[in-house]
Amino acid sequence: MTFGRSRAASVVLNVGGARYSLSRELLKDFPLRRVSRLHGCRSERDVLEVCDDYDRERNEYFFDRHSEAFGFILLYVRGHGKLRFAPRMCELSFYNEMIYWGLEGAHLEYCCQRRLDDRMSDTYTFYSADEPGALGRDEARPGGAEAAPSRRWLERMRRTFEEPTSSLAAQILASVSVVFVIVSMVVLCASTLPDWRAAAADNRSLDDRSRIIEAICIGWFTAECIVRFIVSKNKCEFVKRPLNIIDLLAITPYYISVLMTVFTGENSQLQRAGVTLRVLRMMRIFWVIKLARHFIGLQTLGLTLKRCYREMVMLLVFICVAMAIFSALSQLLEHGLDLETSNKDFASIPAACWWVIISMTTVGYGDMYPITMPGRILGGVCVVSGIVLLALPITFIYHSFVQCYHELKFRSARYSRSLSAEFLN
């Protein structure tokens, strides 16, 4: 640092009127990215790009930000607690302060993350570290000018493969991926038709062509997955993402089945290997879930299930409790009271559970039904109870679905605006 009092051993941070004294060595490796950038500034002009004002005489940096929020953030980075929202402060405002100082939503406690997600969904607000201009902020960091071209290229590649609406190239790539998914699904479904199997047995070239099409689709999915892994920022986080796990589940069975075919062949006498091969080939149905990467509807469904897992568990608990009660009562009324005229369909409680779950979900296959008057009354109560129990948590799940849909739609519109600007430029 070549400006101000270069001999001073400490600097002063003035955040909204609250002053903090830090040593220069601590400033160099400070956990907050905006504060650590001060150490690399070479002129007062560089300093004013990081903070709002600078006092040369006092060697004081002024930030026109929320002082209480910075106090909470400073306690967190110094290891004196976990990061939670400041009392009497809007969640979005506090999160805005976090982004300003260089933190992300992952640093918050889990309970605060849920509050933030709910608030963002309510206001259709979406913050991201990948906002347009993030590269410009990174380039302002020390040493950012030299690494900017490679980082910019990696960022564009990552957005091209991760965000289908981020650019024209991303839309073309997404369209090609959707075509490959559809082709692979059509081939998979056609291969199970009896006419197809008979034609493939008579004409070996038909089976060979279907295998070639399957290999081309798998090759495309494998190349896409490898490239996305290479350009990802965090390799461990990439492996943990649900959509990437689905990609692995869709790709891996093909290579396993190929290896098993090479080592064991298609010999019908190898029953265990034959069953395994059929199971592995049928796991290609996971390819259809890859469409979730390109369609907001499927993304909304996945995000809703992720956020409403408590409500889903509560729904399953309701059904299980009601199923246990009604199945025991129905078995007693239909089979346990009068053994001579008993209903053989309700011979056991597990058998009655099937009738209860079908009745509660109002499907009513009619394969088994009560024949006694008390059993029919119980069946009516079971149907009405199923309607009520299913309706109770559905309201929460519905509102969460609407919020998730608007949030993802907002993000898609934001990237569409980026695409329009790129096309105009």
Q: Is the pLDDT of residue 354 over 50?
A: yes
Q: Indicate whether 238 belongs to any domain.
A: yes
Grouping H, G, I as helix, E, B as strand and the rest as coil, residue 4 is coil
Q: Indicate whether 377 belongs to any domain.
A: yes
Grouping H, G, I as helix, E, B as strand and the rest as coil, residue 63 is strand
Say which CATH number the domain at 16 has: 3.30.710.10
Tens digit of each residue's pLDDT (9 = 90 or more) over 286-325: 777 777 777 777 778 877 888 888 888 888 898 899 999 9
Q: Domains in the chain: how many in total? A: 3
User: Do 250 and 181 sit in the same domain of this protein?
Assistant: yes
Residue, of 378 and 264, whose pLDDT is higher = 378
Q: Indicate whether 145 belongs to any domain.
A: no
pLDDT band per the 50, 70, 90 thresholds, residue 271: very low
User: Do 288 and 303 sit in the same domain of this protein?
Assistant: no
User: Do 97 and 171 sit in the same domain of this protein?
Assistant: no
Q: With pLDDT > 90 as the criterion, what percentage of the chain qualifies?
A: 4
Say which CATH number the domain at 279 has: 1.20.120.350
Q: Indicate whether 210 belongs to any domain.
A: yes
Q: Indicate whether 74 belongs to any domain.
A: yes
Q: How far is CA 48 from CA 8, 26, 340, in A?
A: 19, 20, 93
Which of 294, 328, 343 finishes a domain?
294
User: Do 220 and 324 sit in the same domain of this protein?
Assistant: no
Q: Is the CB of residue 246 less than 8 Å from the CB of residue 171?
A: no
User: Do 246 and 326 sit in the same domain of this protein?
Assistant: no
Tens digit of each residue's pLDDT (9 = 90 or more) over 371-418: 888 888 998 999 999 888 888 888 888 877 887 777 777 666 655 554
User: What is the rounded average pLDDT for all residues in the chain?
Assistant: 77
**Which residues span the domain enclosing 110?**
10-129
Residue 66: what are its φ and ψ, rounded to 5°? -75, 120
Which of 244, 262, 294 finishes a domain?
294
Which of 81, 109, 129 finishes a domain?
129
User: Do 70 and 181 sit in the same domain of this protein?
Assistant: no
Q: Indicate whether 422 belongs to any domain.
A: no
Confidence at residue 377, expressed as pLDDT on a 0 to 100 scale: 92
Confidence at residue 138, expressed as pLDDT on a 0 to 100 scale: 45
User: Do 314 and 374 sit in the same domain of this protein?
Assistant: yes
Q: Indicate whether 272 belongs to any domain.
A: yes
User: Do 273 and 325 sit in the same domain of this protein?
Assistant: no
Confidence at residue 131, expressed as pLDDT on a 0 to 100 scale: 43
- DSSP sequence for 216-245: HHHHHHHHHHHHHHHH-S-HHHHHHSHHHH
Confidence at residue 339, expressed as pLDDT on a 0 to 100 scale: 63
pLDDT band per the 50, 70, 90 thresholds, residue 278: low
